[in-house]
Amino acid sequence: MTQETAIFAGGCFWCTEAVFQSLSGVEGVESGYIGGTVENPTYKQVCGGDTGHAEAIRITFDPAVISYDDLLDVHFATHDPTTLNRQGNDIGTQYRSALFPLDAAQADAARAGITRAAADWPAPIVTTIESASQWYPAEDYHQSYWDGEGQRNPYCMAVIPPKLAKLRKGFSDRLRAE
């Protein structure tokens, strides 16, 4: 099996991780930090907004089951790519909507994905395409957050179920078998 990797930022990584781990063909989702200037940043540093990092997810997927284009379409449908440096009440560059292509083909696909998604949004998409710089995995307690602590976190309970409902409505054919 060939595996590929995609790196997306679309607000709180707890919320984006919960969406993508539900997809058939996604082998793993790791929450982490990318796009900043501080080596080995902590969650507290990134939340402070001074490191330049985005909260992001690194998705490992089987392209024979789900394509990079499919992942892009899910990304644009399950967060608001029209708000600069914010998702809902989360405000700051760490919550920006960004794509971090790992090669020229992903960069081309990212540009095409933005164009495809633009028709579905009433405002212009502000998602950036950034160079894939050093990836830093988030602390262990952030990984698979929705599967554990997130189910008891009021913020997650308010944000994640509507995202999962959008996913089920628009991409039911892409969901992992329960």
Q: What is the pLDDT of residues 94-152, one digit of tens each?
A: 999 999 999 999 999 999 999 999 999 999 999 999 999 999 999 999 999 999 989 99
pLDDT category of residue 178 using cuts at 50, 70 and 90: low
Tell me the per-residue pLDDT of 25-44, one tens digit each, with 9 for 90 and over: 999 999 999 999 999 999 99
Which residue is catalytic, options 12, 15, 47, 156? 12
- Per the prediction, the chain carries an average pLDDT of 95
86: nearest Cα among 51, 50, 49: 49
Cα dist. 130→3, 31, 151, 160 in Å?
22, 17, 32, 26
Cα–Cα distance for residue pair 79/178, rounded to 1 Å:
24
Which residues, including other chains, have CB under 8 Å from residue 87's CB and lie 6 or more apart?
A: 10, 11, 12, 15, 79, 80, 95, 97
Tell me the per-residue pLDDT of 77-97, one tens digit each, with 9 for 90 and over: 999 999 999 998 899 999 999
pLDDT at res. 168: 92
pLDDT at res. 177: 80
Active-site residue, 12 included: yes
Eight-state DSSP code of residue 78: S
Relative to beta strand 128-129, strand 97-99 is: parallel
Helices (H), 21-143: 43-47, 68-77, 104-118
Percent pLDDT > 90 in the chain is 94
pLDDT at res. 1: 67
